[in-house]
Amino acid sequence: MKELLNIIRRHKAGEAVGIYSVCSAHPVVLEAAMRRAQAAGTPVLIEATSNQVNQDGGYTGMTPADFFAFVSGIAARVGLPPAHLLLGGDHLGPNAWQREPAAQAMDKADVLIEQYVAAGFRKIHLDCSMACGGDPVPLAEDVVAARAARLCAVAERTWARVGGEAPLYIIGTEVPVPGGAQEDLHELQVTPPAAAAGTIAAHRQAFLAAGLDDAWTRIIGLVVQPGVEFDHHKVIDYRPAAATALSQYIENESLMVYEAHSTDYQTPANLRALVRDHFAILKVGPGATFALRETLWALADIERAWLGAERSADLKGVMLQAMRDKPKYWQGYYTDPAREHIDLQYSLSDRIRYYWPEPAVQEACRKMLANLDENPPPLTLLSQYLPGQYAAVREGALAPDTNQLLQAGVSALLAQYEQACADQRAEVVQ
């Protein structure tokens, strides 16, 4: 975590630097992020969410120890130095069990936190903002803070037992819905500075009351709403003028920056402005798997045009069937039957990402990629469906094999985050 602390300290010292966090379990996305970090000589921050990875397996089927081993294995294969791999847990709290009574949900959250820290995760987002069974809605901020302090105490005890680097913490009650908004958006209210101050004060009081004085000095980030979000087909863009007061407020905190969730699909200029305005930790999840899906869909079109329907793997058809066979991951999101076919494939909330581990989908992906590697398509088809990769192939910067084509699709998106998080002092001076 020294790498992460160094970035935060540089930012607090006046450098417009930051770090982006990749919230994904897809191996292609993770490899692309690691290869970018390896090339740049920078750390890469990978995070798992409580719905994605937990003691029950989450939707990936992985426990925290499984995910740690999975990510570490990719890093070893890529050749990324262990010191440059940072692992975090996102929305760690009762989120996965919020329909259960609060006492029961929090007991499970205790186990969740213990397993994440014991596995080696050291950036911990303490998120108890959601109401559980029997709770009033919304939860009072002191209740949220007290629950966060309880989970922090579990993390501290676990760290004392297993050793290693001290955990760093993220707090905040204005937490966007993981994966994007479910409803159509029009305008967002930026967190008022007074609300940010209230959140910090409530958590400080709860932490000190629980004897977590040392842990309080390791809180590096506060989740607030800078006015960015996305729904199924629309993006709410960052407007710096609307967040000026909020941006200025955090300058009073010695080692705390803002963590911006739902930054997916923001423009490169918006990402740079967010980092400049102290939203120095940028979270990206659906945006990365959306870029992966775009590339896979383009390859499916290339395969069909090149090899014909009979020889093709029909990845699109297999995926849509898998989604309709198990609708639980999208049913509450895509509610317009007339638009369902479009939403399933192209929605910015990217609920399709839950289905890549499905065996039938995995097999269709494997067959399609093998088909194209064994029967390389002409560059004219690459130009038609993947013009960015085509240009890189023509320049000799990219081999036309499917793995590199997929990597390039995701890497192009991550490059925008990498550039936004680089030192912008020269730009600020101008």
Which amino acid, 318?
V
Helices 359-374 & 315-325, crossing angle to 10 degrees?
180
Residue 260 pLDDT > 90, yes or no? yes
Q: Residue 170's beta-bridge partner residues?
A: 125, 221
Residue 228 pLDDT > 50, yes or no? yes
pTM: 0.94
Burial status of residue 325 (CB atoms within 10 A of its CB: 0-12, 13-18, 19 or more):
exposed
Phi-psi region of 138 (alpha: psi -120 to 50; beta: other; left: phi over 0): beta
Q: What is the pLDDT of residue 185?
A: 59
Q: What is the pLDDT of residue 175?
A: 61
Look up the CATH number of domain 289-412.
1.10.400.20
> Span 230-243, mean pLDDT?
96
pLDDT in tens, 325-356: 999 999 999 999 999 999 999 999 999 999 99
- What the block records as the tokens of 34 is 């690691």
- Name the band, by pLDDT with cuts 50, 70 and 90, for residue 186: low
Q: What is the pLDDT of residue 94?
A: 97
Q: What is the pLDDT of residue 187?
A: 73
How far is the C-alpha of 367 from the C-alpha of 388, rounded, in Å?
Answer: 24
Which amino acid, 266?
Q
Q: What is the pLDDT of residue 177?
A: 53
pLDDT in tens, 51-69: 999 999 999 999 999 999 9
Boundaries of every domain in the chain: 2-284, 289-412
- What the block records as the tokens of 214 is 């040392």
C-alpha closest to that of 148 among 214, 219, 79, 226: 219
Count CB neighbours of 194 within 10 A: 10
How far is the C-alpha of 77 from the C-alpha of 34, rounded, in Å?
Answer: 10
Q: What is the pLDDT of residue 180?
A: 47
Q: What is the pLDDT of residue 430?
A: 34
- What the block records as the tokens of 418 is 């990498």
How far is the C-alpha of 154 from the C-alpha of 45, rounded, in Å?
Answer: 23
Q: What is the pLDDT of residue 179?
A: 47
DSSP 86: E
Q: What is the pLDDT of residue 423?
A: 72
pLDDT in tens, 82-121: 999 999 999 999 999 999 999 999 999 999 999 999 999 9
pLDDT in tens, 267-322: 999 999 999 999 999 999 999 999 999 999 999 999 999 999 999 999 999 999 99
Percent of the chain with pLDDT over 90: 94
Architecture of domain 2-284 in this structure: Alpha-Beta Barrel (3.20)
